Structures are given as C-alpha cells and as structure tokens.
Amino acid sequence: MSVVLIAVVALFFAAMGVYGLLRPSQLADTVGLLADRADAHAEVRAVYGGFGLAVAAVLGLAAADIGDLRFGVCVAVAAALGGMAFGRIWSSFTGRASAFYPVWFYFVVEVTLATLLGVAVLLD
C-alpha cells in the first residue's frame, strides 16, 4: 500500500514537471504569473519542470525502496510540501490571498500529498 501512495505523489510531480517543461507560460498563468520572456520560461522550466521531474524520480526510487531510501525521501518531500502549504498560509495573513483557486486549491493538494507520504512511512 505504501508503494501506491508514493506512486500517486510521484505521478503528481511528474505531471507538474512535464507541464512545466512543455508549457511554461500556461503553467505560470494558472497562478497569475506572466512568463512572457525566455528568462521567465527558463525559471518556470527549472522550478516547476526540472524540480518536479527530479522529485518524481527520487519518489520512484523510494517506491522501489532502492538503497533503503524510502523513509528519507518520503520525509524530505513531505516536509517540502508542508513548507509550501505553510507559505500559502503565511501569504493569507500578509497578502490577503483569498481566492480558492489557485491558493487554497494547491494548499489542499500539498497537505494531501504530504499526508499520503506520511501514511506511506507509517505503513512501512
């Protein structure tokens, strides 16, 4: 069961990574950013594309439990997702972000994915 939970999170990151690499302007637009120059495309491709694919890859290693990495990878990715969710909460106090999409939608996604990884660790 833990492998399935880790795979779900990995698929999310893989999809985000591919989308970030192939459609940087559209991905940026979903969160209200303007990526209309080559430098902006490179940033979106790096942060959403390359990072997403790298996280998906290490989660794949964790799912396969190669080199006994599962616990560390799951904790690290869950912590990163938790940090992202915290940043959204912080923003709600400092910037008055109130729209459900994208702010709270991705908050729910991040908390859910972090929880899935936490459950995966507990199941092992």
Query: Nearest Cα to 58, choosing from 49, 70, 46?
Result: 70
User: Which stretches in the chain have pLDDT values below 50?
Assistant: none
Distance CA 35, CA 55 (A): 23
Q: How far apart are CA 12 and CA 5, in angstroms?
A: 11
Q: Tell me the domain boundaries of the chain.
A: 1-123
pLDDT for 82 equals 97
